Amino acid sequence: MKVAVIGAGPAGTRAVETLLAHGISPVWLEESADGGGRIYQRPPAPLARDHRTLYGFEAKRAAALHSAFDAARSRADWRPQTLVWHIRPSTRQLHTVSQGQQAVVDYHAAILCTGAMDRVIPIPGWTHPGVTSLGAAQIALKSQGCAIGQRPVFLGSGPLLWLVAYQYAKAGAPPAAVLDTTPFATKLAATPGLLRGGATFAKGLFYITWLRAHGIPIAEGVSPIAIDGAEDGVTALRWRDAAGREHRTECDALGLGWGLRPEAQLADLAGIPFRFDAVQHNWIPERDLAGRTPVAHHYLAGDGAGIGGAEMAELAGRRAALAVLQNARTPIDTAAAAALDRKLAAGQKFRVALERAFPFPAKLAASLPDDTILCRCEGLRAADIRATAMVDYHAGVAPELNRAKAFSRAGMGRCQGRLCGAATAEVLAAALGQPVEAIGRLRGQPPVKPIPIAAA
Ligand SMILES: Cc1cc2nc3c(=O)[nH]c(=O)nc-3n(C[C@H](O)[C@H](O)[C@H](O)COP(=O)(O)OP(=O)(O)OC[C@H]3O[C@@H](n4cnc5c(N)ncnc54)[C@H](O)[C@@H]3O)c2cc1C
């Protein structure tokens, strides 16, 4: 049986390891040059640093995953720097491009472990040089050993906000401010559920306490107003505190992000149905606990199947590989599979609490000023999307996000809506007076990421 695994993060690595343990050597495709995924990304060899410096509390887990990856890659058909840009479920084929060369990979079963990316709200001034997502700020530090600035501001909400701020402070670039759009009371109300997270919850508390103890300015329940800057970079962030007072924090860089969104375009192209998850405020591909989807022979694991975090991704990768084996009638340890199911179910409960503690600020996105650039690939402003909503209104056509895309070109550029899609949907839905789930989601289109014309 030919199994294809896409992605070499925690989910993909554990899926491949499990398949190898059962005598199946999968074809393993990864866009990056190395394994580890987003959380355990390794710097290139000349910039190598020890695990403790790079991953802090996660050093042991990172070392374990890296050694599993190193052991597995020589036994699998490992193909790094290979982007899967299309999937055809009917013929069971993947289209890939690697160093400009196109290839088609046949498979009997595919496990999609494509991870997640930052969820961004474009606030006025976000296109100034020096503004990055929180994840990109962290990747610069982890992978290249450099900071986005000497005095960055971090703005957003979610565990990554506090972690990145802590990592920057430890690395010698103390943030000028950490600004959380979620009010303290919201997080407090979620505490009983967060306690299920045990060590993960404790680590989160530690980061916040550490930052406060080291004099890093922190504010919660804030509303961003605008990022000031010019062509040569960011100079300050203007924002309102919970009491409505206006502030201006000078900075030389800014990292922003509001949680993560699944990288689920391949799942979409595979024909897997999606549902709107009100808790995650994300569209999620359908799958069961074991990663089986309604499309036979196609499995999902890790954050690409709905945000669950790195520990859950490892479990889900193992479980999806066992599901592939079960489907092929290969004997597996059913008790181990049941244990994984229990852990995955428990992990989902913690995730619900986490999402309640750091809810996506949909109203902030929906109420962006008219002149805010929403889709920077196409240079579209919030007003353009609102005008698109009116086009549909006058035509009497049911409002839908893909129609707005057709009228306005929002999400048609280089990022394919991966960056601007979440906020565009909120702006459109608010302009139409609809709940965001009622206007649908941007459909995936091949190629899922830009590829050279010569390779298409
Ligand atoms: C930028 C960023 C930083 C993060 N930092 C932390 C952190 O510090 N601590 C923490 O606890 N969590 C962090 N997270 C969350 C954490 O990374 C995830 O929970 C975890 O890595 C999920 O594992 P995964 O295997 O599902 O996905 P990932 O680790 O994201 O791995 C997915 C892999 O699939 C590859 N891929 C995706 N699409 C394709 C394609 N079409 N073709 C080929 N390859 C493809 C990607 O290159 C990637 O290597 C971060 C997330 C992001 C996005």
| Ligand 1 within 6 A of CB of 7 | yes
Q: Residue 112: its pLDDT value, please?
A: 98
State the average pLDDT for the chain. Answer: 94
Whole-angstrom distance, CA of residue 370 vs CA of residue 356:
29
Q: Which residues contact 391 (CB under 8 A, 6 or more apart)?
A: 407
- State which of 27, 31, 34, 39 you would mutate to test the pocket of ligand 1, scoring each by most atoms of that ligand within 8 A of its C-beta: 39
CB-ligand 1 contact for 12 (6 Å cutoff)? yes
Q: Say if ligand 1 is within 6 A of residue 135 CB.
A: yes
Which band of pLDDT confidence, cut at 50, 70 and 90, is reported for residue 53? confident
The response to whether residue 37 sits with its C-beta less than 6 Å from ligand 1 reads yes
Q: Is the CB of 229 under 6 A from ligand 1?
A: no
Residue ranges matching CATH 3.50.50.60 in the chain: 3-117+261-355, 120-258
Does ligand 1 have an atom closer than 6 angstroms to the CB of 6? yes
What is the pLDDT at residue 382?
Answer: 96
User: Residue 436's pLDDT band (boundaries 50, 70, 90)?
Assistant: very high
For ligand 1, atom 3, the nearest C-alpha belongs to: 135
Predicted confidence band of residue 54 (pLDDT cuts 50, 70, 90): confident
Ligand 1 binding pocket includes 419 (Cβ within 6 Å): no
Q: Quote the pLDDT of residue 198.
A: 81
Q: Top-level CATH class of 120-258?
A: alpha beta
Q: Is 255 helix (H, G, I), strand (E, B) or coil?
A: strand
Asked if CATH classification 1.20.58 holds for the domain at 363-439, the reply, yes or no, is no
Q: Is the dihedral of CA 277, 376, 220, 130 positive or negative?
A: positive
Atom of ligand 1 nearest to the CA of 29: 43
Please, is 432 exposed, middle or buried when counting C-beta atoms within 10 Å of its C-beta (0-12, 13-18, 19+)?
buried
State the average pLDDT over residues 186-194. Answer: 90
Q: Indicate whether residue 39 lines ligand 1 (CB < 6 A).
A: yes
Pocket test for ligand 1, best of 18, 28, 34, 38 (most atoms within 8 A of CB): 38
What global pTM score does this model have? Answer: 0.95
Cα 315 to ligand 1 centre (Å): 15
Which of 104, 102, 80, 97 has its CA nearest to residue 2?
104
Q: Answer yes or no: are the C-beta atoms of 125 and 17 closer than 8 Å.
A: no
Q: 3-117+261-355: which CATH architecture? A: 3-Layer(bba) Sandwich (3.50)
pLDDT confidence of residue 456: 66
What's the full length of the chain, in residues?
A: 456
Mean pLDDT of 278-293: 96
If you take atom 53 of ligand 1, which residue's CA is the nearest one? Answer: 117
CATH 1.10.10 intervals, the chain: 363-439
Give me the pLDDT at residue 55, please.
85
The DSSP H or E segment spanning 346 is helix 334-357
Non-local (6+) Cβ contacts of 215 within 8 A are none
- Count of Cβ atoms closer than 10 Å to residue 328 Cβ: 15
Average pLDDT over residues 134-151: 94
Ligand 1 proximity of 427 Cβ (cutoff 6 Å)? no
Write down the residue that tokens 């472990």 correspond to: 113
Query: How far is Cα 140 from Cα 102, in angstroms, rounded to an integer?
Result: 29
Rounded to the nearest whole angstrom, what is the distance from the C-alpha of residue 232 to the centroid of ligand 1? 31
What is the pLDDT, as a whole number, of residue 398? 62
Can you tell me the mean pLDDT for 348-364?
92
Amino acid 399: pLDDT: 78
